[in-house]
Amino acid sequence: MFSLLIGRLFWVQFVGGTQYLERAERQWFRHVTIQPQRGQIYDRNGDLLAGSASAETIVVIPSAIEEPAKVVEKLSNVLDLEDEAIYNRLNSDASEVYLKRRVDDKTAQKVKELEIKGIRTIPESKRFYPHERLASHVLGFMGTDKGLEGIEAHYQDELAGVPGTSLYTSDGSGRELPGGVANYKAPVEGLDLTLTIDHYIQHIVESKMQITMEEFEPEGISVIAVDPNTGEILALANKPDFEPESFADYPSSTWRNAAITNSFEPGSTFKIATMAVGLEENVFKPTDTYICKGYKEVLGTRIRNWDRRANGEQTYTQAVVRSSNTAFVDIGLDLGKDTLFKYIHGLGFGQRTGIDLPGETTGILFNTQTMTDLDLAVTSFGQGNAVTPIQQIMGVAAVANGGQLMQPYLAKEFRNSEGEVVKANKPTPVRTVFSQETSDISREILQEVVKGANLTIDGYSVAGKSGTAQKISPEGGYIDGSIIASYVGFAPVEDPQIALYVMVDEPATGRWGSQVAGPLFRDIMEDVLHYMDVPHSYQENDED
């Protein structure tokens, strides 16, 4: 008997003592992670687009739970959690476990009123978006602790900050004892981010898009507004959209940022690129004439004008205004595949623009090593290659601004919790594509296009071009009756301050880009020019 007592004493002192010490540490010492405040997101004028509000999180201290079954019964209805999920957390080996994150005030109060030993609340922050759906595809949305889409995801590291820690002594219920903090490391707050987005321009864009959604009932719409001189994105939107705070209530298809991910044949908006290349390479002059028969034979295939008309003798300026396919086939064939595609690549097609959003795609271009003259011919007027909206607007911006391809960007600057700028993005020229002369002539021609389409804006000179493209079938070929209507342009012609791209996907009514996308382009452009207080190009109703 004596030897058994000695053995038991030895086990308690030297073997079991470690276990008792560890159990005591779990019961009396708490190691808590302190989440940092996530950085706020503002528009270019300081208007809050995404912020963080205080919210309480319910945590459990497993070692302090005395009757798990009763605790489960009390909490299951209040927290709307399965009994098994609660029970597993109550029986965790960890010193402290999240039971439910960022609950509303009413739920937190109900839990407090239960006064359950080992259950407590801790303060955290919860993301909110004061403008609801506005700029949802720019901002993206949050998971539990991490950005999952949009700016929230792309700049996760900058916005998130660095968690802190606290080690303190507590009573049996897990409450901190006075003076019980043994070790504390403060969290580093996330950086505040100012975007290039102007929330008022974004509002104009989205409100006009909604009108078009109701009028033409399309599958979707994408719009991008950019400062052509800097690459700053002033607005970017897609319909349908979603509310970032409740993104899970929407079909996942609505989360897709079509403005940077969807690629499709551009149609006649691509003629802007072919025109500019032809001017740069001296293939034609605006006043040069040619005879339009209404069709062009290439490798045994007859390519017709979109309206099937033979326009007779016309200048190349008239050909652009009339969107004559055959004129652009002539330009493309005269340039040759190597020259035309050198500029196509130079304008950023077939590659990511580098916009600071996740998910951008490259589009698909013909391989110049294997393409035929027929491929070259259809490329010249916007068929055969797939491009994205962001590629198209940046390519047109290069034509507008004097020939510089700019990198598009959304993050203007980051500030720390003291308000100091720790990082600022500046306009980034990618390369020079065209001469100033080519830019000047292109702008003048595209102004004539807008006049011919009756999409002018009183007091302002506007340049632009419509596009109508058939939708490609997954099985090959085109989907009968399904189109993508688009319009792209800029203003004022003499000093472009804004470039705008509009894409309407599969409208239920309306057949042409000028009918469907053109009015949306004009309505947005007019309101934005007035909002930006851009000086008039001429007195209203006095244009030559």
C-alpha distances (whole Å) from 182 to each of 157, 165, 178 are 29, 11, 11
pLDDT band for 6, please (50, 70, 90 cuts).
low
Burial 189-203 (b: 16+ CB within 10 A, else e): bbbbbbbbbbbbbbb
DSSP lists the bridge partners of residue 208 as: none
Q: 444 pLDDT exceeds 50?
A: yes
**Residue pLDDT, tens place only, 224-245:** 999 999 999 999 999 999 999 9
pLDDT band for 313, please (50, 70, 90 cuts).
very high
For 199-410+426-531, give the CATH class. Answer: alpha beta
**Residue pLDDT, tens place only, 337-362:** 999 999 999 999 999 999 999 999 99
**Residue pLDDT, tens place only, 476-497:** 778 888 999 999 999 999 999 9
Of the ranges 239-243, 352-356, 389-393, 506-510, which one carries the lowest mean pLDDT score?
506-510
The upper half-sphere exposure of residue 261, i.e. CA atoms within 13 Å in the direction of its Cβ, equals 15
Average of per-residue pLDDT across 176-191: 73
Q: Is the peptide bond before 492 cis (omega within 30 degrees of 0)?
A: yes
Pairing of strands 498-505, 220-226: antiparallel
**Residue pLDDT, tens place only, 29-65:** 666 677 888 999 999 999 999 999 888 888 888 888 8
Burial status of residue 152 (CB atoms within 10 A of its CB: 0-12, 13-18, 19 or more): buried
Average of per-residue pLDDT across 496-503: 98
**Residue pLDDT, tens place only, 64-78:** 888 888 888 888 888
DSSP lists the bridge partners of residue 285 as: none
Helix (H, G, I), strand (E, B) or coil at 311: coil
List the catalytic residue out of 268, 439, 461, 466. Answer: 268
Closest CA relative to residue 327, chosen from 311, 340, 343:
311
Average pLDDT of the residues of the chain: 90
Average of per-residue pLDDT across 264-271: 97
Alpha-carbon distance of 22 to 16, in angstroms, equals 10
Q: Write the CB contacts of 163 (distance below 8 Å, at least 6 apart in sequence).
A: 33, 34, 35, 36, 187
Most confident of 11-20, 74-83, 257-266: 257-266
Average of per-residue pLDDT across 373-399: 98
- CA 442 vs. chain centroid, Å, equals 29
Q: Considering only residues 124 and 404, tell me which one the structure prediction assigns the higher pLDDT.
A: 404
Domain boundary assignment for the chain: 199-410+426-531
What is the pTM assigned to this prediction?
0.88
Angle (nearest 5°) at CA 484 between 479 and 485: 145
Q: 182 pLDDT exceeds 70?
A: no
Q: Which two tokens stand for residue 111?
A: 């839990």
**Residue pLDDT, tens place only, 277-293:** 999 999 999 999 989 99
Contact 416, 422 (CB under 8 A): yes
Average of per-residue pLDDT across 9-29: 51
Average of per-residue pLDDT across 313-322: 94
**Residue pLDDT, tens place only, 408-417:** 999 999 999 9
pLDDT of residue 11: 47
Alpha-carbon distance of 199 to 49, in angstroms, equals 8
268 a catalytic residue: yes
Contact 204, 531 (CB under 8 A): yes
Helix 325-335 and helix 373-380: axis angle, to 10°? 130
Q: Which two tokens stand for residue 336?
A: 């040759």
List phi, psi (to 5°) of 61: -105, 95
Of the ranges 129-143, 189-203, 461-475, which one carries the lowest mean pLDDT score?
461-475
Q: 28 pLDDT exceeds 70?
A: no
Q: Which two tokens stand for residue 489?
A: 């342009």
pLDDT of residue 255: 97
List phi, psi (to 5°) of 45: -100, 10
pLDDT band for 20, please (50, 70, 90 cuts).
very low
pLDDT band for 91, please (50, 70, 90 cuts).
confident
Alpha-carbon distance of 524 to 521, in angstroms, equals 5
pLDDT of residue 21: 46
3-state DSSP: the chain helix, strand, coil percent, rounded to 5? 35, 30, 35
